[in-house]
Chains A and B, each alone.
Chain A
Amino acid sequence: MHTYFWAFVVGGLICVIGQILLDVVKLTPAHMVTTLVVAGAILSGLELYQPLIDFAGAGASVPITSFGNALVQGALSEAKMSGLVGIVTGIFEVTSAGISSAIIFAFLASLLFRPKG
């Protein structure tokens, strides 16, 4: 049960960081999300992101910071097997599910729905 508690708290706090970037630092939403992705990639490079996922579960894997983490982890695990070329071949390995499903569902939506208000 405490996984749910920490998922809520950690996920909520990452969103608060995003809100502070919007309101206090006055970034645009696009800049804010991009900043968080790069932050996730840096934390991943320092091996700090996986411990956060182990601790908070979806609280760390649902926010967009985990996209940066997944890109780095995909690149690193492939690079371990095939050297520097692996960085390029592995970068989308983990994130493929997210990007592909977002493209597929968004395209299906454009076939089925009309824009609302």
Chain B
Amino acid sequence: MTAQKQKILTKKEYQKLAKDNEPRRPVLANCVRAFLAGGTICLIGQGITDIFVFYFGFTEKSAGNPTAATLIFLSVVLTSLGVYDHIAQWAGAGTAVPVTGFANSMASAALEHRTEGYVLGVGSNMFKLAGSVIVFGVFSAFIIAFIRTLIPLIGGA
């Protein structure tokens, strides 16, 4: 009984200790870095969009797909060379939020699990992180599109 009580106390104490000693996150500095890195990636994206519009005859809207593909290609190359993860350590959400972060998570999972074979390693691990983005994205998009499609049928706006 006493032993048990002691155990609970130490657990609580441990949690308090852990919380007190947790390194303070430099929120402001992290936000500035995320802003600069994320802004720069979007700036590059805008540059790529304009190249597709001016030199390859895309419209502002149809240039979106080739722009995403180009950014994804660049991100996969940088991931393969080990550069993207270095930038990501500095930039935090600045590299995780743009579409390049999505590609980075897939490429790094593919590279990391390559030793387990192409089917069981690369194939089944590629979507380990990106999978939740697709699952929740598709499900929420389904609900929203369903509601938006039903409203005119019922006779609303």
Q: Which residues of A contact B (CB under 8 A)?
A: 3-4, 7-16, 18-24, 29-30, 32-34, 36-38, 41-42, 44-45, 56-59, 61-68, 71-72, 74-76, 79, 83-84, 86-88, 91-92, 94, 97-99, 101-103, 105-110, 112-117
Interface contact B97-A64, CB-CB below 8 Å:
yes
Chain B residues within 8 Å of A117, by CB: 82, 85
Q: Pick the residue among A12, A67, A101 that contacts B38 (CB under 8 A).
A: A12
A-B contact count (CB 8 A): 256
Chain A residues within 8 Å of B92, by CB: 19, 22
For this complex, 29 residue pairs linking A to B, each with C-beta atoms less than 8 Å apart, are A7-B42, A9-B39, A11-B42, A12-B34, A12-B38, A12-B39, A15-B34, A18-B34, A19-B31, A20-B27, A34-B133, A37-B137, A41-B141, A41-B144, A44-B141, A62-B42, A62-B67, A65-B97, A71-B138, A72-B148, A75-B142, A98-B72, A106-B103, A106-B107, A108-B76, A110-B114, A110-B118, A113-B81, A117-B85
CA distance A33 to B129 in the complex (A): 10
Chain A residues within 8 Å of B43, by CB: 4, 7-8, 11, 58
Q: Which residues of B contact A (CB under 8 A)?
A: 25, 27, 30-31, 33-43, 45-49, 60, 64-69, 71-73, 76-77, 79-82, 85, 92-94, 96-103, 106-112, 114, 118, 122, 126, 129-130, 132-134, 136-138, 140-142, 144-149
Interface contact B149-A33, CB-CB below 8 Å:
no
The smallest beta-carbon distance between A2 and chain B, in angstroms, is 11
Chain A residues within 8 Å of B98, by CB: 11, 15, 62-64
Chain A residues within 8 Å of B80, by CB: 109, 112-113, 116
Closest to B33 in A: A19
Closest to B64 in A: A61
Chain A residues within 8 Å of B37, by CB: 15
With A8-B42, A11-B38, A63-B98 known as contacts, the answer to whether A58 contacts B67 (CB < 8 A) is yes
Interface contact B42-A10, CB-CB below 8 Å:
yes
With A24-B27, A64-B97, A91-B138 known as contacts, the answer to whether A84 contacts B146 (CB < 8 A) is yes
Per DSSP, chain A at the interface is helix
Interface contact B42-A59, CB-CB below 8 Å:
yes
With A19-B92, A44-B144 known as contacts, the answer to whether A7 contacts B46 (CB < 8 A) is yes
With A11-B42, A12-B39, A97-B68 known as contacts, the answer to whether A18 contacts B142 (CB < 8 A) is no
Interface contact A106-B106, CB-CB below 8 Å:
yes
Known: A45-B147, A64-B102, A91-B145. 19 other contacts (CB 8 A): A11-B38, A11-B39, A15-B39, A19-B30, A23-B31, A33-B97, A37-B140, A58-B48, A63-B42, A68-B140, A74-B141, A79-B145, A91-B142, A101-B73, A102-B103, A106-B109, A116-B80, A117-B82, A117-B85
